[in-house]
Chain A
């Protein structure tokens, strides 16, 4: 079953996805399913040192099930300070 999610992108992922927000259609509905589709559509993501996915402003586990109302964001390696 296909599910659509709106993904926020920050830092280098904003450049790779081509914008601050992107609608992604994925098969399945877990964080891992989303990651699989993202890597397939944007292979440059695989070149990052790390890539976390945040759900509702918290780092999410791969098995987490995504809901329509979730705020989903890509967190490439952070470099604040």
Chain B
């Protein structure tokens, strides 16, 4: 029951709000500059500069995240959950999460993590960010294979010639 339970337990709005959401809700949220800024700020906090890993900013992971979740094959319920989760974080932080200091963001995210909803949402953002950083550079992040290099590894050969997002093979 993993996926549904995750949505039911995690959703502060209840499962019905996710299931009854219309495509227009998703479009509205996904085109919201604030939602994008919030998710990007969270990614930059999880993967900051001066870490042994490349930073979220230098790897342009936000583009990967939106390209992925807006793809036709991506689970539409999880797509909405990710977008709504960003709105909820902003609501909790009175709309100023993006402009908080590093320490304030740390406090806000750890507090968010204490709710099952926030914990699930942060896990999703973490997974999508690691997917961006550690997938083949063809997907736009992991620029010059910097994330692979940081881990002393590299992808297998042959590497993909096409993104599955545009052409399944």
Chain A complexes with chain B: no
Chain B residues packing against A (C-beta within 8 Å): none
Chain A residues packing against B (C-beta within 8 Å): none
